[in-house]
Amino acid sequence: MPTAILFDWDNTLIDGWAAIEAGLNAAFAAFGKPAWTREQVLANVRKSLRDSFPEHFGAEWERARDIFYEAVHATHLEVIRPLPATIAMLDALAHLPLGVVSNKQGPLLRKEAAHLGWATRFGALVGAGDAVADKPSGAPLHLALQRMGLSAGPHVWYVGDTSIDMQAARAAGCRAVLLGDAAHDGGIAACAPDMAFPDGVQLADRLHALDK
């Protein structure tokens, strides 16, 4: 049994891809780059902006960042939706300390959680830029656990949907738990999780059985 669970945000608890896609394509358009389809966004968005934008935009990455965030802020609260199993899973796990560690910018993450009425569900909401490094570093997981008054170890699960999430879990010394089939990231085997669940309801059911 875990003593605490940390979650990734996008594509683990919520669907906010419409805003991310709009922001990326606004930045790409400003630099004369081709737009990405939703499938390309899902397949390529892993790293935080401060790690990925220099790769795409070089020395002008900060200007691209500003264009991206202007587009995201215009729509993100209108388009975010909980994934189908999320609320049932969080309700079932409410007896455990829960937190979020995302590569979405920290203020954006916390604004979205507040908009959904979820801020009180989590003991910590850590996003990109909050820690000294972003995922796949273990630093943001350690920061979240510190804010929750906890320490890392295999008794803490980190639940995400990509290989970067699994890498971050291991870097922090936590158990790496995959949610979904990771079809957008090479599949379950490529992500190499410690455990995998098709959806949040089955994860909660497994914990309920362990608790018994």
SS (H, E, C) 17-50: HHHHHHHHHHHHHHCCCCCCCHHHHHHHCCCCHH
Q: Are 158 and 168 spatial neighbours (Cβ–Cβ below 8 Å)?
A: yes
Q: Rg of the Cα trace of the chain?
A: 17
Distance, in Å, from the CA atom of 103 to the CA atom of 112, rounded to the nearest integer, reads: 14
Asked if 185 is an active-site residue, the reply is no
Give the single-character DSSP code of 82.
E
Q: Which of 111, 108, 81, 113 is nearest to 7 (CA)?
A: 113
Report, as residue numbers or ranges, the catalytic residues.
8
